[in-house]
Copies of this chain bind each other. A is one copy, B any other.
Amino acid sequence: MSLLVTGSIGIDTVETPFGKRDAVLGGSAVYFSYASSFFTPVRLVGVVGEDCPKNLLDVFKGRDIDSTGLEIRKGSKTFRWHGSYLKDLNEAQTVQTDLNVLAERAPKIPDKFTDSPFIFLANTHPALQQEMLCCLKQPKLIVADTMNLWIQTERNELAKLLPKIHGLVLNDAEARLLTEKKNLIEAARAVLKMGPKFVVIKKGEHGCLMCSDKDTFVLPAYPADKVVDPTGAGDSFAGGMMGYLATQGGSLSSSTIKRALAFGTVVASYTIADFSLAGLQATTRDQIDDRWSHYKQSMSF
């Protein structure tokens, strides 16, 4: 069942205690697409500038990712992000952000994508996220991400988006900012009152919290002894989660959501083991399944 993702595609420069990588592929939609393509066919919608090296997206070759929705916009420049984890491996310090093409009009969803049943709106302006929804014919499950910038500057648009989606994925600091609740469970419950049926709060190395009207539970991150570059961990997590949910027809039963979050957790554990997409590229679905079983087993007693 096809999973449509819209989000950023970027050229990253990343510094961590393990080294520096210049001009590597990044962006929320890129990590998400790669991660979810372990599970289900993916349809990518995004935009880059004409400066984007032709071979940058070669990473998607041989994967079930339809990039018909990838626009290479003439006269525009690709989104660039420079981040450093030298101070704290758990929190990126942004050295520089050049929104470039992301500050222009949104890419168009191709007609042949409008029947997509599963939708992930990676982090972008909430007005654009709503615009994307308008052209969808029969969405079964819509999940969105957001960020502190929109919570602070576009709260009204975000408030209009939230009742239109089934799930919201955001990190702990964003959840606290959005709801003005310090306690994460209170924050999660406050998010539910804003519209979505479920909310997943990502806590980085500390795992995630899921809250719906039926359930509240916490899952730990996979214990990783090798964290080389955390960039894209959250998007890979969301990709693994949505990829699995798509294979389950969009069921939101308690155990399906848990399994999905466990897949997201495991996929993210591969992302952080190397720079950019290299960790995911070195991974197979069999490895993911093995680690998933080990993770599941590790919490069983």
* Residue in chain B with minimal CB distance to A90: B182
Nearest first, the 8 A-B pairs at minimum CB distance are A258-B301, A218-B220, A217-B298, A206-B206, A299-B299, A185-B225, A255-B301, A220-B220
Contact of A299 among B182, B183, B219, B225 (CB under 8 A): B219
The answer for the CA separation of A127 and B206 in the assembled complex, in Å, is 34
The A205-238 residues at the B interface (CB cut-off 8 A) are: 206-207, 209, 215-221, 223-225, 227
The answer for the CA separation of A262 and B298 in the assembled complex, in Å, is 13
The answer for the CA separation of A300 and B259 in the assembled complex, in Å, is 9
* Residue in chain B with minimal CB distance to A181: B225
Q: Interface 1/0s, chain A 170-203, versus B by CB < 8 A? A: 0000000000001111100100000000000001
Q: Is A89 on the interface with B (CB-CB < 8 A)?
A: yes
* Residue in chain B with minimal CB distance to A301: B258
* Residue in chain B with minimal CB distance to A218: B220
The answer for the CA separation of A250 and B207 in the assembled complex, in Å, is 30
Residues on B with C-beta less than 8 A from A63 are none
Q: Is A296 on the interface with B (CB-CB < 8 A)?
A: yes
Q: Interface 1/0s, chain A 246-268, versus B by CB < 8 A? A: 00000000010011001000000
The answer for the CA separation of A151 and B182 in the assembled complex, in Å, is 32
Given A219-B220, A220-B218, A220-B219, residue A225 in contact with residue B186 (CB < 8 A): yes
Name A's B-contacting residues (CB within 8 A).
Answer: 89, 182-186, 189, 203, 206-207, 209, 215-221, 223-225, 227, 255, 258-259, 262, 296, 298-301
* Residue in chain B with minimal CB distance to A255: B301
CB<8 Å pairs between A and B, sample of 20: A89-B182, A183-B224, A185-B223, A189-B225, A206-B206, A206-B220, A207-B207, A207-B218, A207-B220, A217-B298, A218-B220, A218-B221, A218-B223, A219-B299, A255-B301, A258-B299, A259-B301, A262-B301, A299-B299, A300-B300
Residues on B with C-beta less than 8 A from A89 are 182
Residues on B with C-beta less than 8 A from A206 are 203, 206-207, 220
Shortest distance from the beta carbon of A132 to any chain B beta carbon, whole Å: 31
Given A203-B206, A299-B299, A301-B255, residue A216 in contact with residue B220 (CB < 8 A): no
Docked-complex contact B209 and A223, CB < 8 angstroms: yes
Docked-complex contact B216 and A183, CB < 8 angstroms: no
